[in-house]
Amino acid sequence: MLLEGNRIRDQIKAECLPRVTKFVDIHGRPPGLAVVLVGQNPASEVYVRNKTKTAGELGIYNETITPPATSTTDELLALVHELNAREDIDGILIQLPLPGHVDSQRILLAVDPAKDVDGFHPYNAGLLATGREGLKPCTPAGIIEMLRRYMIPMSGANAVVIGRSDIVGKPMALLLLSENATVTITHSRTKDLPGICRTADILVAAIGRPAMVTADYIKPGAVVIDVGINRVDGKLVGDVHAGDVAKLASAWSPVPGGVGPLTIAMLMQNTIQAAEAAAAARAASSC
Query: Alpha-carbon distance 77 to 57, whole Å?
Result: 30
Nearest residue to 185 (alpha-carbon basis) of 169, 171, 202, 209:
169
Q: Which of the residues 118, 201, 226, 244 is marked catalytic?
A: 118
Q: What is residue 2's DSSP assignment? A: B
Query: Alpha-carbon distance 265 to 143, whole Å?
Result: 11
Residue 22 among the catalytic residues: no
Residue 219 among the catalytic residues: no
Label residues 220-237 b or e (16+ Cβ within 10 Å = b): eebbbbbbbbeeeeeeeb
Residue 13 among the catalytic residues: no
CA 54, 60, 66 angle in degrees (round to 5)? Answer: 75
Q: Which of the residues 90, 95, 116, 239 is marked catalytic?
A: 95
Nearest residue to 85 (alpha-carbon basis) of 24, 157, 32:
32
Nearest residue to 30 (alpha-carbon basis) of 89, 93, 80, 115:
89
Query: Alpha-carbon distance 137 to 121, whole Å?
Result: 10
Residue 142's CB is within 10 A of a number of other CB atoms, namely 27
CB 158 within 8 A of CB 221: no
Looking at the annotation, which residues are catalytic? Answer: 51, 95, 118
